[in-house]
Structure 1
Amino acid sequence: MPKLIRLYILQVLTGFGLSALFVGALLWFNVANLWHLISTSDVAVVAVIMLVFFNGVVFAGVQFAISIMRMAEDDDTSGGKRQRAIPQVPARVRVAAKAPKARSLRVLGHR
């Protein structure tokens, strides 16, 4: 099995394990009265499975991203050409404008 696939599977299992611990802690500490809500529901098993699954997807993605980012080498010089940034100087533009005509109050509907 390729090393990257093995790494991905390991990180997914770790993420779902962390998710199970996280959901267990949520229920144990009764965060937002979640334990009472789930324990009095007739679909409690589905709710817990959904909590573990969706948190597992997030945690597995984060675990894999962290493990991939930690693989970077410190002496990485493949960043491309370093070109100097050209400072932007605002240009002055002259615009000829006419003064607006004075409107009488009758035109606006006032008497």
Structure 2
Amino acid sequence: MPKLVRLYIQQVLIGFGLSAVFTAILVYFNVANLQRLLLGSSDGLLGLFLIFFFNGLVFAGVQFAIRIMRMGHEDDDDDDDDRGMPVWNAQPIAIRSSDTQR
């Protein structure tokens, strides 16, 4: 299995694990009376699954994006040589315009 695919699957599993913890905290602390709504309805399990699933999609995407962005952070400083940034010395030039409006 390619390393990138393995990395993606790993980050998706971490994201859905975080979603499970987040959903459990939401239900346990009864945020916005969510516990009564989920447990008191006949479609409560569907609602619980949808909260878990969509939060899992978000957390997995964010987890993967953070991991990918941190991959290039190990040695991204290009200041090994002391040349610095190139400087552009702009010189103004005069432009003559003919006065065509009278």
Considering only CA atoms, is the larger Rg found in Structure 1 or Structure 2? 1
Q: Deviations over 1:79-103 (max 9, x none)?
A: xx8675x8xxxxxxxxxxxxxxxxx
- Percent identity between matched residues is 59
Unaligned 5+ segments in structure 1 are 87-111
Name the CA shift for 1:67/1:38 in 2 (closer, same or farther; >3 Å): same
**TM-score, length-normalised on structure 2?**
0.73
The CA deviation at 1:47 is: 0.4
Specify the alignment match of 2:94 in structure 1.
none
Specify the alignment match of 1:45 in structure 2.
45
Compare the two structures and name the one with the higher helix fraction.
Answer: 2
**TM-score, length-normalised on structure 1?**
0.68
**Amino acid of the residue matched to residue 33 of structure 2?**
N
How big is the alpha-carbon RMSD for the aligned residues of Structure 1 and Structure 2?
1.8
Specify the alignment match of 2:93 in structure 1.
none
C-alpha distance in structure 2 between counterparts of 1:29 and 1:59, whole Å: 20
C-alpha distance in structure 2 between counterparts of 1:82 and 1:10, whole Å: 42
Unaligned 5+ segments in structure 2 are 79-84, 91-102
Specify the alignment match of 2:2 in structure 1.
2
